Amino acid sequence: MILWHLLRKNLALGQLIGYVLATLLGLTIVLMTLQFSEDLRPMFNEKEGIFAHDYLLISKKVSVFKTLGITKSSFSKEELQELADQPFVNRLAPFTTATFKVYASLSMGNKMANLGTMLFFESVPNSFLDVTPTDWQWTQGSHFIPIILPRSYLALYNFGFAPSQGLPQLSGSMLSHINLTIDVTGHGKEAAFQSRIVGFTDRINSILVPQSFMDWANNEFGFGNEEPTHLILEPKNIADPTMKSFFSSHEYEVANDKAAASEASSFLRMLIIVVLSVGAVITLLALGLMLLSIHLLIQKNHERIENLSLAGFSSAVISKPYQYLVLVVNGVIFLLSMLLVIYLRHDYIALFSSSMHVDQARFLWNNFLWGAVIVAALTVINMFWIFRKVREICR
Amino acid sequence: MIQHIHLRQVVPVPLVETASKESAIWFAERHFEKGKRYLISSESGKGKSTLFDFLYGRRHDFTGTILFDEQPIAEFRRRDWNRLRQHHLSIVFQGFRLFQELTVWQNLMLKNQLTHHLSAAQLEQWLEAVGIADKKDTLLQFLSYGQQQRVAIVRAFCQPFDFLLMDEPFSHLDTANQQSLCDLITSEVEHRGAGLLLSSLGDTYFFNFDEQLAL
């Protein structure tokens, strides 16, 4: 006690508060960023996140020759095999295009009004879809065909077509309650099916029906499955450079539906790294500030420390009051920082809750550990520094 | 336990050129025995304080060898010096090296908490004996120089010792006070069977020295 009474002289409260605030800021930024990236991790997740697989849509370039039918715009079996054999391909599937005519009409029940339009159908294997609605199946003999529509079509209707035509805007769930009649004709046959929009896709820009229906209907009403004109491809690594050169050498056109999302993802990652570094730098500067203040404090108490040493006090004993001070201050910083992280996280979860789901329970106990490790490291460095500086004075 | 101190051809590095060859200590074979009293006298600047700094491990810039019980003190580590300063060597510095911002009592307790040598009652008795009992809770900075000198002497008793080193301890005391303090110190040193090394500008005060050495 007397020792503390003696050694606290010249303690600069301002410097101490400065250290507390700076370290608190740096540590909170670091921990907040870690927590934030942990909360966002499901979105980066390979399997389910919004930045999940990158899919590429491959087609051939349309040229005058192709329009004239001199060269084919479809993929032959050999071309498909060649592509499938490329090392960058994880999996690959052709789009199946309907080779029959489709007419969709809106039945209002009493047949007072009958809105209808020609349509086209395409299909891809189910495993390439980003949605799997419950009604998404067709078996032979069934009179119900489920349809998946690109979400962009709905947007196009709601924000483009509907306002200009004075039509009401529709939500996805409203649309999926509308019963459609599908008339299929071709090969001298015709058939009528009931239909409904069962889901919306963000991945594929086409009107989709189940593959099973397409295979059956193409044989029944068309002339079998044609060679595909475009393909969906899941690469092993979207950034693979050999992929790009392969496509350009074969004059294939590539549309990447996830390009924007992928850019956003990498941008976000970069942002997290930058913010994390800023936090780390602030923490390091705060540490530097503290080491400097300790040095100053011990120099100011030079004579007291020397006299204590001459009275028989060891460097370790003289260091203790300062080391306890650092321990307490860093403990307070740790607790404050944790409270801040919890509070801020609560805030941003509320902010994001409309656009994404953040697992509340996912609070990082790891994060707690990280905080503890950083604070412990700071404390150890400070304590060692105190001991060293005191020892320099002791005789 | 230090039974005797042996100086072999010791001279402070800064005084190598100027130190007198007639000196009883510098460049000489010199022994200090536990239980004996030595006066080291000289005019200023001959290295009285420096000698005490060497013996107390505060300075190490000397040539020759200093041995405690035939062990060279140059080999001592910090740990050894801390132990010596707590149990075997006590000193009254010329400048006291007390803590101005602490009270008299705190100054004594600081040392005594380290050694647990005296009880609170014994400490009070010592303050009484040197005549500053009424200053117990006064901050040291409000004490006169002579009063501080007495605090430093009491503090030196707050530990066991084999040798007591006193560097011009009575420079600001009147004769009556000097005499009473000398009696106290003599009886305490005798009681403990310790050696005394006392430096002065030539004054022998009221001690019976076994040897008087001129630097």
pLDDT at A160 over 80: no
**DSSP one-letter code for A190:** E
Closest in B78, B102, B159 to A394, CB measured: B78
Taking the Cβ of residue A310 and every Cβ of chain B, the question of whether any pair is shorter than 8 Å is answered with: yes
Of A2, A310, A313, which has the smallest distance from its Cβ to B97's Cβ?
A310
Bridge partner list, B168: none
Q: How far is CA A101 from CA A212, A268, A348, A356, in A?
A: 17, 46, 51, 40
Q: Does B194 reside within a domain?
A: yes
When scoring B81, B113, B159 by the number of chain A Cβ atoms within 10 A, the one with the most, hence best to mutate, is B81
Whether A45 and A235 have beta carbons less than 8 Å apart is answered as: no
CA distance A8 to chain B (A): 11
Beta carbons of B106 and A307 less than 8 Å apart:
no
Query: Does residue B15 form part of some domain?
Result: no
Model confidence at B166: pLDDT above 80: yes
Which of A6, A310, A317, A319 should one mutate to test binding to chain B, selecting the residue with the greatest count of B CBs within 10 A? A310
Please state, in angstroms and as integers, the Cα–Cα distance from residue A200 to each residue in A37, A112, A132, A275, following that order. 29, 29, 10, 36
Percentage with pLDDT > 70 across chain A: 86
Query: Which of the four pLDDT bands, split at 50, 70 and 90, describes residue A87?
Result: confident
Confirm or reject contact between A311 and chain B (CB < 8 A).
yes
Identify all chain B residues contacting A307, using CB atoms and an 8 Å cutoff: 97-99
- pLDDT computed for residue B35 by the predictor: 94
At A65 the pLDDT is 65
Predicted confidence (pLDDT) at residue B201 exceeds the cutoff of 80 = yes
Q: What pLDDT is recorded for position A114? A: 67
Residue A62 has pLDDT above 80, yes or no: no
pLDDT of residue A48: 47
- pLDDT for residue A352 is more than 80: no
Q: Which of B58, B85, B93 lies at the smallest CB-CB distance from A312?
A: B85
A189 interfacial to chain B (CB closer than 8 Å): no
Length of chain A measured in residues:
395
**What counts of helices (H) and strands (E) characterise chain B?**
6, 9
The answer to whether position B94 is within a domain reads yes
Chain B contacts to A (CB-CB under 8 A): 56-59, 78-79, 82, 85-86, 91, 93, 97-99, 101-102, 106, 109-111, 113-115, 159
For range B110-130, the mean pLDDT? 94
Q: Which domain holds residue B90?
A: 37-60+77-210
> How does pLDDT run across A70-81, given as a tens digit for each residue?
667 788 888 888
A312–B114 CB contact, under 8 Å: yes
In this structure, are residues A252 and A79 in contact, taking their beta carbons and an 8 Å threshold? no
Which of A56-65, A105-114, A267-276, B83-92 shows the highest mean pLDDT?
Answer: B83-92
Does A182 have pLDDT greater than 70? yes
- For chain B, the average pLDDT equals 93
Q: Is residue B97 part of a domain?
A: yes
- The answer to whether position B184 is within a domain reads yes
* Residue contact A314–B114, C-beta within 8 A: no
Test B102 with A6 for CB contact under 8 angstroms.
Answer: yes
Contacts of A390 in chain B (CB under 8 A): none
The answer to whether residue B46 sits within a structural domain is yes
CATH code, domain carrying B54: 3.40.50.300
Q: Is residue A130's pLDDT more than 80?
A: no
- The closest of B180, B179, B183, B156 to B167, measured between CA atoms, is B156
pLDDT for position A233:
84
% of chain A residues with pLDDT over 90:
27
Q: What pLDDT is attached to residue A218?
A: 87
Of A120-129, B24-33, B122-131, least confident by mean pLDDT is A120-129
Of A6, A314, A395, the CB nearest to B57: A395
Measured between alpha carbons, how far is A254 from B42 in angstroms, rounded to an integer?
Answer: 101
Confidence band of A47 (pLDDT split at 50, 70, 90): very low
Mean pLDDT taken over chain A: 83
- Do A6 and B101 count as a contact with CB atoms less than 8 A apart? yes
Q: Is the pLDDT of residue A364 over 80?
A: no
A88-92, A363-367, B109-113, B144-148: range with lowest mean pLDDT = A363-367
Contacts of B148 in chain A (CB under 8 A): none
What is the pLDDT at residue A50? 47
pLDDT single digits (tens) B6-43 = 999 999 999 998 888 889 999 999 999 999 999 999 88
What residues of B are in contact with residue A7 (Cβ under 8 Å)?
none
Helix (H/G/I), strand (E/B), else coil: A57: strand
Cα–Cα distance measured from residue B6 to residue B140, given in angstroms and rounded to the nearest whole number: 36
DSSP for A259-324?
Answer: HHHHHHHHHHHHHHHHHHHHHHHHHHHHHHHHHHHHHHHHHHTHHHHHHHHHTT--HHHHHHHHHH
Residue B204 belongs to a domain: yes
Structural domains counted in chain B: 1
Query: Is residue A260 very low, low, confident or very high in pLDDT (cuts 50, 70, 90)?
Result: low
Considering only the beta carbons, identify the residue of B85, B101, B113 that sits closest to A310.
Answer: B85
Pairwise CB contact (< 8 Å): A2 & B113? yes
Between A202 and B105, the more confident residue is: B105
Which tokens sit at B48?
A: 């009285």
Task: Indicate yes or no: CB of A311 within 8 angstroms of CB of B109.
Answer: no
Q: Which amino acid is at A83?
A: L
pLDDT grade, residue A107 (50/70/90)?
A: low
- What's the whole-number mean pLDDT along residues A8-30? 90
pLDDT tops 50 at residue A46: no
**B122–chain A nearest CA distance, Å:** 20
Whether residue B154 lies inside any domain: the answer is yes
For residue B104, the chain A residue with the least C-alpha distance is: A2
The mean pLDDT of A119-136, rounded to a whole number, is 84
